[in-house]
Structure 1
Amino acid sequence: MTKGQNVLVGENVVLGENVVLGNNVIIYEGTVIGSNVIIQDNAVIGKQPTRAKASILPDFKTLPPAKIGNGVIVGTSAIIYANAVISDEVFIADLTTIRERVKVGVKSIIGRGVAIENDCTIGMCCKLETNCYITAYSTLGDYVFIAPCVVTTNDNYMGRDKERLDKFKGVTVDTGGRIGANSTILPGKTIHKDGTVAAGSLVSRDVEAEILVVGHPAKELRKVPVSQLLKNQ
């Protein structure tokens, strides 16, 4: 292991071979880190979540440790919470936040400033670009592309009315789905396989497979060109 200054490694942390830790890195108790991992300055791995007094989320005890696979790169000031599972060869850029109970698939790229909230699944070979927001309880399949500043949502009641408490639902983006920059996806909506959302769109209904939608609200424009389908890449 190679480490910088002011590194804090908690008890029972498991470190593989050839791990590089930058300055001021904090790794919490029990975290498992694979081999050939680079964790850059000021990153925090395995942080336990803190519940606000007014939070609607249920109280919880200590969560299991985070697990980081082989060949992972974690950027400067990134935070990965406890009970997150990061698969092999994932790239996590600077200032990213990955919350508890999140799974990230092999070789996915999580861009600068991305926030992935609790209880999400990200498939393999996905690309989530700068400052996109993945709301809690969302599922992204394999080879999904999320452009910069995309916003996904999970609460149709916007924080009011107790009726919302059992109706939270994130978004689903099936394999090969793509969402253009600055788009907004409303709660519970599904973008089916190879469905594509043009930049700046508001998705208020499901997007069918291999269909391009555009606008406010987003409407079908045409089929995705055959040359753009995942199977032809």
Structure 2
Amino acid sequence: MTLQQGQNVIIGENVVFGENVKIGNNVIIYEGTEIRDNVIIQDNAVIGKQPTRAKTSILPEVKTLPPAKIGSGVTIGTSAIVYANVEISNDVFIADLATVRERVTIGAKTIVGRGAAIENDCAIGKSCKLETNCYITAYSTLGDSVFIAPCVVTTNDNFMGRSKERFDKFKGVTVKDGGRIGANATILPGKVIQEDGAVAAGSIVSRDVELESLVVGSPAKEIRKVPEEQLLRNQ
């Protein structure tokens, strides 16, 4: 094992390292975390953090979760936070200040941009691009080769934090393979963007987006089909 580490690094018990791991300054890696070969963890990152629960939270009390697992060739940027029970596949890039919450999986070669937030219980496919400051709400699923532009917001609560009726109705968004969402778009709870569906910048998606359709506006409406040369199968 070749391990390079900076100053003030804290490594918990039973952390597993592969070959050629590089750790910056002031990094915290919690107990049991698995880190494979050729991983770079930059300054001030936190890996394997257990979640905490606000006293007023409606969510059930969280028990100790299994450790995080970091695949080979992963880069985790400065001040990024990766929680416990996260599984990151090979060659993922997580940029500075990003947050990946508990029970999240991220597929190979996906990019998570600067300041992006992926909330708990999400599944992110391979070769996705989640750009700066986008927000992926809890209980969402993104397929492969999904593009999320900067400042996109996804939501999971139609009741906006009021009434007990909402407790069993939380539902994140689904973006299937090749789906693309433009900058500053908002996707309402439970909506599905089908394969190669595209959402124009600034749109508000209040109903499902059909296969290979381009939607625009508030509320978003289909204006045409995605051009053939833009479809994922033709790349």
Query: In the alignment, which residue of structure 2 is the partner of 1:44?
Result: 46
Please give the secondary structure, in 1, of the residue aligned with 2:229.
Answer: helix
Mapped partners of 2:62, 2:37: distance in 1: 31
Structure 1 segment 187-226 matched on structure 2, within 5 A: 187-226=189-228
Query: In the alignment, which residue of structure 1 is the partner of 2:154?
Result: 152
Query: In the alignment, which residue of structure 2 is the partner of 1:4?
Result: 6
Gaps of 5+ in 1: none
Query: In the alignment, which residue of structure 2 is the partner of 1:110?
Result: 112
For this pair of structures, how many residues does the alignment match? 233
Query: In the alignment, which residue of structure 1 is the partner of 2:135?
Result: 133
Mapped partners of 2:105, 2:62: distance in 1: 19
The one-letter code of the counterpart of 1:145 is F
Mapped partners of 1:106, 1:99: distance in 2: 18
Structure 1 position 60, deviation (Å): 2.0
The one-letter code of the counterpart of 1:154 is N
The one-letter code of the counterpart of 2:197 is G
Give the percent of matched residue pairs that are identical in Structure 1 and Structure 2. Answer: 78
Please give the secondary structure, in 1, of the residue aligned with 2:167.
Answer: helix
Determine which of 117, 120, 123 is the counterpart of 2:122.
Answer: 120
Mapped partners of 1:58, 1:180: distance in 2: 34
Write out the 4+ residue segments of structure 1 that deviate beyond 3 Å after TM superposition. Answer: none
The one-letter code of the counterpart of 1:224 is V
Query: In the alignment, which residue of structure 1 is the partner of 2:234?
Result: 232
Mapped partners of 1:206, 1:212: distance in 2: 12
Determine which of 96, 99, 115 is the counterpart of 2:98.
Answer: 96
TM norm structure 2: 0.99
Please give the secondary structure, in 1, of the residue aligned with 2:224.
Answer: strand
Mapped partners of 1:229, 1:61: distance in 2: 43
Determine which of 73, 79, 82 is the counterpart of 1:80.
Answer: 82
Gaps of 5+ in 2: none
The one-letter code of the counterpart of 1:24 is N
